[in-house]
């Protein structure tokens, strides 16, 4: 009888620890999920209002810094994202496979994963495009400046030439 009581007590304690872990996982999953959804939604809106890419090198550089800051923020949220995934997987593993609860948890994980991946992709894509644009824009504005310098010098040289007479006899005199 005493051995059965110890066994029952041990089983009860193990289940209590399991339930406490499950409650902690559920709390972490809910809180980190809410935080991630809010943060991801805000960053999606921010990306939507960033507008088109600039063409002037200084403005492109500024936009590149904005994207780098967003990427840094995303890196800061990675711990919350990892907690969410870890807690969700732990909960789903304890659910009956293909139950409504497991489907619900997996659906929430999938939703956040899609939003996370979409934001990550959009940031990476914009970063790449901005870097390419910065290189091309810098080359363009350097060539434009070189052309402006050349035209200024050429204009000064042309203006230093003697005036050309308007009449044909005067042109003949200049030619002699």
Mind listing the pLDDT tens digit of every residue in the chain (176 residues)?
Answer: 788 888 888 888 888 888 888 888 899 999 999 999 999 999 999 888 888 888 899 999 999 999 999 999 999 999 999 999 999 999 988 888 888 988 999 999 999 999 999 999 999 999 999 999 999 999 999 999 999 999 999 999 988 887 765 666 666 666 66
**46 and 70 Cβ atoms separated by less than 8 Å:** yes
Q: How far from chain centre, in Å, is Cα 85?
A: 20
pLDDT of residue 50: 82
pLDDT of residue 7: 86
**134 and 65 Cβ atoms separated by less than 8 Å:** no
pLDDT of residue 118: 95
**137 and 60 Cβ atoms separated by less than 8 Å:** yes
pLDDT of residue 67: 93
Strand, coil or helix: what is 137? helix
How far apart are the C-alpha atoms of 110 and 116, rounded to whole Å? 10
Global pTM? Answer: 0.74
**108 and 32 Cβ atoms separated by less than 8 Å:** no
**81 and 151 Cβ atoms separated by less than 8 Å:** no
Q: How many helices (H) and strands (E) does the chain have?
A: 4, 0
């Amino acid at each position: 009888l005493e051995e059965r009581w110890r066994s029952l007590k041990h089983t009860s304690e193990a289940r209590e620890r399991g339930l406490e872990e499950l409650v902690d996982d559920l709390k972490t999953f809910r809180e980190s999920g809410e935080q991630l959804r809010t943060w991801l939604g805000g960053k999606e809106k921010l990306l939507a209002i960033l507008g088109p890419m600039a063409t002037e090198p200084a403005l492109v550089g500024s936009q590149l810094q904005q994207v780098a800051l967003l990427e840094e923020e995303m890196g800061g949220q990675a711990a919350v994202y990892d907690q969410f995934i870890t807690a969700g997987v732990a909960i789903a593993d304890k659910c009956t496979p293909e139950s409504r609860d497991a489907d619900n948890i997996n659906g929430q994980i999938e939703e956040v994963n899609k939003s996370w991946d979409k934001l990550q992709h959009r940031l990476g894509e914009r970063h790449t495009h901005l870097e390419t644009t910065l290189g091309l824009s810098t080359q363009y504005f350097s060539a434009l400046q070189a052309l402006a310098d050349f035209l200024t010098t050429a204009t000064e040289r042309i203006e230093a030439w003697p005036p050309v007479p308007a009449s044909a006899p005067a042109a003949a005199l200049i030619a002699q």
